[in-house]
Chain A
């Protein structure tokens, strides 16, 4: 028996199935993304402690952040410094390592695993390990002592603390950059190098005129992802320094967290939107990057 269905009914049926298949993500997006995003914006214009209803205060929170709150400015500055330092060291190390690994070396799998292993490890674990290494009597100060140098108070000296967190974070993350650069390097056609060699280009010229241009999209990707991630630094700060000493390692998200814990939810919401505003440019670039693959 042939079951006859009108094209219209079949089309409506497909509509229904389509909506059913996307229903959960759409619902989740509305409840867990859209509503919270709008709510945070609304709360950022209020004084709100989570117990009494929010009180509208206009742009007071934002005004206070930028004109009266030294700790916030410090957090902003630290976050910028963390990002810039990390983005100077991490991708450079990653590229150097990838260039070395790309020289058809033996034991490549071993080396790659060694660089990549910390990427798999949670930041809390990384921070814990480095807290021990940075200890007053820890491995690093023992090494300094062996070289006849004075010990450094890595995490309790305001001049060093942020840099120490950067080092631990670079150790954790640059294996990711290594692996991505390596994959990109292996994708550069050998004929390009042969042509450059025929033109008499030396190693440096080949790197500058062949390798680097070919890596451009990957470099862009790494910097966008890295900057967005760095601006959200929290776990390491929480475990290693709690923002101290003397707020020398306080970052935007850590400050947001501490305001949240103080039940200053309106103020914390304003901090969240400042972060959002700063990241907007990079998020847009990331978005372009992902959608371009379409």
Chain B
């Protein structure tokens, strides 16, 4: 009798577990669902009571509006362009520097690396004001350069790549050198392919950072044709004339690219996120 009571209790616990997980994950998804649903609604039904869970009638007018009257396609292009160029540059420079700090010998190497690690402690806001003035001095304000150039390399990325390259045995590099590879070829043919998993992590972090950035673009960009998606979305809400349907259509367009990338690369994302934190 006792064991059967145990198992029924265990079953009950199991049921409660699934119920909690299912309800809470649906609750997590509800704001997304509500956003998408609202983006297809006519404005008079957005705050209908009782709520209109399924848009009736379904309208595309909000999307037509943000596509034609608000330059969302342009925002999308700006976001993609800036994020792709900056991420590409990150991969190149961070990996090169990580390789140099890991495998090449030159005077001052460890001192430079140590100084860089120290600089990791500076919060971005501390540099904000002079950085803005530097951008103005270069005449980069309201240009792609202001978003891209300060973001072509990063200390965290260099640190990450150095960690990965540390695990490549020196003998492998020496063998390539004996075969006549110069340093650039050693890097391109041996190091780069072996660091690909690390590069995946680097790409994810960098891309996400730049794609979601708000404060810095908000400061250095002033004309709508230069806006990235988050800026465009904030701007859409600052207009008194915007309706909630339009704002939600803009929200869907801003969130969708990143969510799609995530769903495709989910495993790399999660692996990348947990790598730094969980040391076995």
Contacts and interface: CB of A to CB of B under 8 A. Distances in A.
A113 B277 CA distance: 19
A121 B256 CA distance: 9
A238 B101 CA distance: 40
B28 A110 contact: no
What 7 A-B pairs come out closest when comparing CB atoms?
A18-B106, A114-B25, A122-B212, A21-B100, A36-B130, A36-B127, A283-B121
Given A24-B93, A114-B28, A183 B104 contact: no
A40 B152 CA distance: 22
A69 to B, nearest CB: 18
Interface stretch (B64-72, B112-120, B192-200): B112-120
Contact of B123 (A15, A112, A232): A232
A197 interface: no
Interface in A183-197: 183-184, 187
Given A18-B106, A111-B25, A234-B215, A120 B259 contact: yes
A128 B255 CA distance: 11
A192 to B, nearest CB: 14
B6 interface: no
B126 A124 contact: no
A100 B150 contact: no
Nearest to B274: A183
A22 B97 contact: yes
A133 B47 CA distance: 10
Given A114-B25, A276-B122, A36 B31 contact: no
Given A26-B112, A113-B263, A113-B266, 5 more contacts: A14-B106, A32-B127, A111-B25, A232-B124, A290-B120
Interface in B1-45: 17-18, 20-22, 24-26, 28-32, 34-35, 38
Interface string B159-196: 10001000000000000000000011000000000000
Contact of A17 (B104, B132, B233, B251): B104
Interface in A245-294: 253, 256-257, 260, 265, 268-269, 272-273, 275-276, 279-280, 283-284, 286-287, 290-291, 293-294
Interface string A91-118: 0000001001101010000111111111
A291 B26 CA distance: 39
Q: Chain A interface: which size bin?
A: 35 or more
Interface string A169-200: 00100011001100110010000000000000
B258 A14 contact: no
A123 interface: yes
Contacts of A40: 126-130
7 contacts: A15-B107, A111-B22, A125-B251, A128-B237, A128-B248, A232-B125, A294-B163
A290 B105 contact: no
A35 B123 CA distance: 14
